[in-house]
Structure 1
């Protein structure tokens, strides 16, 4: 009977978490969009939503497609889910989000903006003097690693391992494969660190994590949430911004006409950032659990099944975007879902934009042309980005 039911479902026979689908996912996303509003992926044992309007609607339907049963594409991680900010539903989600998001709200960002701008200035001044450099380690990683590690205020072991922990977290959120399996020991290391080593006396006073202990004292959160919220700060605040910055550099280097437009009109900088995130979404997508039957434009996802909402596919949906595969800094793209949508929209989106904006604001004054080589992809189940990106700045 189960086989008969599944045979009637619109389906695409592909493994979204296979190496080839990670390196070049866009033909797979196109097939998903062309097949149906929602398709069954038998290789991954879940549904996928790939069209823009349907993805936005699904992200907004957080009362039906819930997060509290986990947002991973593999059962093992969902089984050990804890009530962190990504895996809570309304009404519990809002007060918790209010506490953890304070540092990345406008007031909090105003405090760190001069430090970000100063670091960006120093970085670009150095890079324009070099014959070549790695756009990932020498550019994209600098602001997140310098600024975020400072803001978090973690003990030294935490600062040294943030990138490793973040990458493992996203690998585990993907399919049930070797990459996810290999990530679990690293995730356990992260959990042990946050539970045992993150204490009032080990974090920097005034830091983001120190504020969590202050929230405990104020009665805003339970003490047990401090380790979980520390993980929430570590995992999403690095790789997503790093990869988005790498994509931004790669796109501008491959489209010199777009860089010329940006230099001629720096007011387009916010557009360029949004366009890079739309075109190469650093997070492919998260799953939700169907608390009830959920209709996707005539296709029913049954109660009790899991659905992957593909941000990266939605952001290239030709139903929403004209020439969706083209990088265009003049495109109006404020409604893309590269940072999510609804109550779980990325809290650090404004910090990421501030970091990328600070870099571009210096570059338009210093860089005549951006040259990029062939990037090497990082194979990660959920993240899309480069391990390395050969680059050169031709100075003005």
Structure 2
């Protein structure tokens, strides 16, 4: 893909706005337009380059020496400054050190003792909801495990914890360009940072919790104690909304594709493959950005040092150059290389937990539900996240 030869292709330019309401609610036509235009497209409205093809997105995410995260991964300078130094916005040994601490309770081995608890909680929830016959798959179903299980494991003080869902959503909204949505969310981000600094501290955290372990690691010298507040954000945000949106998107996809739900019901071993396909089709996080550290060529297009490229995970996941018939939901596809969790050194640290929660829920649903029927839906209008704020379903 890349060479050291001089760039030979003029980068296509576009005035397409990927952050309008209509584009966010239905991004696929715009993504296709950008993919067809070239491996990189300059978005004139934002002064950044767009990477929308699978190979280009994957290359950006897997080449941190060219596309570092230390300058921030958001699409505005203010947020890049606020979160600089947390696990998401760091590189090299600083990133590795904080990631080791954050990831410790999230490895497959560390999560193994939680399997039975999560499965039991999922079964109980599914039993209650299916007995009702109808429910909100976003609020009643998708929120339950992340809120009840994860928030308890993180171990934040009860006071203010009920704001975690709001904080998580608004934090991600602030990742976008400095549009009206970002500006509205900045005040909520300040509230979140205040909580992380004054409440998520030793003496107020649940003993033995993930959050307390961060402070313990700092006390041992594994990470800079000054980074503890921004490291708390790694637990307070990504552990909630991304999984919630993935679960609601899965229900919606199964409602729209009942033949695929039949396949899962007939063969529950397809659940992991189905989860991968959900994450490919409806990536909960649609895009992050990277700065460009050195002049770099991709397929003949030169990215100049000091520029910024937005890696559109959702677009790469629908690239027909990589996935045949990419707009078809196929639970037998098992796209293990999807970009729904990102890729490279900054791949989602909580992916194992998200898979565990989703698998528990959909294995339980496969035993109880023959059909999902959507009665009413409301998509989140969000700069970065994709999913539903409401998804009323009837189950049979």
Range with greater deviation from structure 2 (150-159 or 309-318): 150-159
Check whether the contact 1:130–1:392 (CA below 8 A) recurs between aligned residues. no
Q: Does 1:94 align with 2:68?
A: no
Of residues 353, 357, 361, the one that matches 2:363 is 361
Equivalent position of 1:3 in the other structure: none
Q: 1:214 to 1:80 in 2, by over 3 A?
A: closer
**Equivalents in 2 of 1:328, 1:299: separation in Å?**
34
Check whether the contact 2:129–2:135 (CA below 8 A) recurs between aligned residues. yes
Equivalent position SS for 2:370:
strand
Shift of 1:94: 1.4
Equivalent position SS for 2:225:
coil
Q: Does 1:200 align with 2:202?
A: yes
Q: 1:79 to 1:224 in 2, by over 3 A?
A: closer
Of residues 115, 125, 130, the one that matches 1:113 is 115
Check whether the contact 1:285–1:311 (CA below 8 A) recurs between aligned residues. yes
Of residues 297, 312, 318, the one that matches 1:295 is 297
**Which runs of structure 2 are paired with 1:129-148 in the superposition (5 Å)?**
129-148=131-150
Shift of 1:141: 0.7
Q: Does 1:246 align with 2:242?
A: no
Check whether the contact 1:12–1:31 (CA below 8 A) recurs between aligned residues. no
Equivalent position of 1:74 in the other structure: 76
Equivalent position of 2:6 in the other structure: none
Check whether the contact 1:69–1:81 (CA below 8 A) recurs between aligned residues. no
Q: Deviations over 1:129-153 (max 9, x none)?
A: 1131111001011111111111111
Equivalent position of 1:308 in the other structure: 310
**Equivalents in 2 of 1:75, 1:295: separation in Å?**
25
Of residues 164, 167, 170, the one that matches 1:165 is 167
Equivalent position SS for 1:332:
coil
Range with greater deviation from structure 2 (90-99 or 158-167): 90-99
Equivalent position of 1:5 in the other structure: none
**Equivalents in 1 of 2:53, 2:224: separation in Å?**
39
Of residues 53, 56, 63, the one that matches 1:54 is 56
Q: 1:381 to 1:198 in 2, by over 3 A?
A: same
Q: Does 1:255 align with 2:254?
A: no
**Which runs of structure 2 are paired with 1:1-396 in the superposition (5 Å)?**
9-394=11-396
Equivalent position SS for 2:132:
coil
**Equivalents in 2 of 1:35, 1:21: separation in Å?**
17
Q: Note the residue ranges of structure 2 that are not aligned, 5 or more in a row.
A: 1-9
Q: TM-score, normalised by structure 1?
A: 0.96
Q: Note the residue ranges of structure 1 that are not aligned, 5 or more in a row.
A: 1-7
**Equivalents in 1 of 2:255, 2:98: separation in Å?**
40
Equivalent position of 2:3 in the other structure: none
Check whether the contact 1:169–1:187 (CA below 8 A) recurs between aligned residues. yes
Equivalent position SS for 1:156:
coil
Shift of 1:70: 0.8
Equivalent position SS for 1:201:
coil
Check whether the contact 2:376–2:393 (CA below 8 A) recurs between aligned residues. no
Task: Count the aligned residue pairs.
Answer: 387
Q: Deviations over 1:27-80 (max 9, x none)?
A: 110011000100000112210000001111111111111111111111222233
Q: TM-score, normalised by structure 2?
A: 0.96
